[in-house]
Structures are given as structure tokens and as C-alpha cells.
Amino acid sequence: MTTALPKPDPIPSLTVATYNIHKGFSHFNRRLVVHDMRDGLRRMGADIVFLQEVVGHNARHRDNREAWPAAPQHEFLADAQWPAAAYVGNAVYEHGHHGNAILSRFPMVRCEHEDISTNRLEQRGLLHVEIAVPGWQHHLHCVCVHLGLFGRSRRKQIDAVCERIHHLVPDAAPLVLAGDFNDWRQHATEPLADIGAHDVFAATHGRAARSFPARLPILRLDRIYTRGFRVHGANVHRGREWARLSDHAPLAAQLIRE
């Protein structure tokens, strides 16, 4: 006679974070700081991390930087802290590529990339993964984006993101959409609200977070949008420790499944 194994208790809450890591360099590319970034992200303790400007390969840095990690940056940052990691290069050039990544404590069951570039000057894409959170009826859908610098491009890219979510994410499935939106005018808020996704900082603080530049955040560029969660808290990781790393400050949010 076999005894059925007990089902794991559902995980009631998650901590998620988003961070543009500036290819692992400090302001103006003065110092390689990817090792300090890994330490900072570990201390943050997020369950799922959305990353932008992650270097998958760079032959020049590999050959000229003694401390350059042997592994791609998403694997180096994930290490043992996040057993599941996905990366897709958006910008491809002669000596390498960089793009978006998602790190997760929980298994990924599906990973897809969509090219949302709108012009020849900027290569942009989204990374969409489905994560099996223990005890949850539906997979968690996570979408990581890094949108363009031009307003017209961003509007088209937001439309593409909304279209994908509308067609591929079931209404009952929880959703986290995060990344560097470059949306200082907050034009993304209305179309995303139409598909039921809302900014965690607007829910907790009344408006989007200031995250750029990290030393004195003024612009509201980075976002975390959710659907199917109650926001327990949201914060910008500021201070001297973070200011000496990327030009963006990381955002984090504590989410409770509805």
C-alpha cells in the first residue's frame, strides 16, 4: 500500500524586485560592480527578480577585465540563491549581447521571448516566463521588459505587451509585469489598467516610484505592475550602497495572492 505524499502548503505571499543593472557597471562605466550587485540582491531576499541590461556575453570585457565573471551575468547573479534563471538577448552586436533576465526561487515551466523593436536604432524585447509556485492553482506569469527611449516607440511596445498578456495570460492567472519602462510621463498606466494591471507604488504611495538616477532619483522609469495580488508594501532601495552601483535604483514589492 502506498501513502500519498502531502501536498505543499500554498505560498501566501511573494517578494518581487526589478533592477536595471547597467551591464554590471557603475555610473559612466567607471567600475565593474556586478559582484557587489550580487551581494545586494541576495540581501534583498526577493523570491523573483526581474533584470534589465544583463550581459549574456561580451568578448571585450571577458578578455580585458580580470574580474569579469566566467558565467553569463544572469547565471552569476542567480548562483544558488535562485535555482531557476532565464535570459534572452535583445541587443546583439559583434562582440556580444545583452538583454532581460528573470531569476526565480521556484521552477520555470515555460519561457518565451518576443521582439518588440520598432526602429533600427533600438533593439527591444520582452521575456515571458511561467512559474510553478507551490500550492498555487495557476502558474504565475512574469513579464520582464525594457522599453525604448522614444515616446512613439514606447506606445507601440506597450500595445504589444498588452496584446500578449490579453491573449496568453488567463484572467485567473496571477501576473507580474516589471522592468525599465523609460516612461517618465506615465503613459503606460492607462493601457495597462485596461488589462487589469496596476502599479504597486501607485497602490501604496499614490504614484510611480522615482528610481533614476540612483544617486538622486528624480525620474519615474522603473515599474512593477501586478494583477491578481494585493500589495502589502513597496519600496525603492536607495542609499549609498545602491547609489555606487547601477544608475538605476532597484524596486521591490511584497505581494499577497488574492
The range of the structural domain enclosing residue 117 comes to 13-257
Give the per-residue pLDDT at 214. 95
User: Is 252 contained in some domain?
Assistant: yes
Whether omega for the bond prior to residue 213 falls within 30 degrees of 0, making it cis, is yes
Give the per-residue pLDDT at 30. 81
Q: Helices in the chain by DSSP H: which ranges?
A: 34-44, 59-64, 73-78, 151-168, 189-194, 200-205, 240-243
User: Is 65 contained in some domain?
Assistant: yes
Q: How many domains does the chain have?
A: 1
Query: Residue 3 pLDDT more than 60?
Result: no
> What's the pLDDT tens digit per position in 107-125?
999 999 999 999 888 899 9
* Single-letter residue type at 184: W
- Give the separation between CA 46 and CA 49, rounded to whole angstroms: 6
CB neighbour list of residue 166: distance below 8 Å, 6 or more residues apart? 195
User: Is 7 contained in some domain?
Assistant: no
User: Is 2 contained in some domain?
Assistant: no
**CATH classification of the domain holding 53:** 3.60.10.10
User: Is 155 contained in some domain?
Assistant: yes
CA contacts within 13 A on the Cβ side of 256: 4
* Single-letter residue type at 218: I
User: Is 5 contained in some domain?
Assistant: no
User: Is 137 contained in some domain?
Assistant: yes
Q: Which residues pair with 212 in a beta bridge?
A: 219
> What's the pLDDT tens digit per position in 162-190?
999 999 999 999 999 999 999 998 999 99
Share of the chain above pLDDT 70, in %: 97
Give the per-residue pLDDT at 5. 53
User: Is 241 contained in some domain?
Assistant: yes
Mean pLDDT of the chain: 94
Residue 2 binned pLDDT confidence (cut-offs 50, 70, 90): low
- Considering the entire predicted model, what is its pTM? 0.95
Query: Residue 39 pLDDT more than 70?
Result: yes
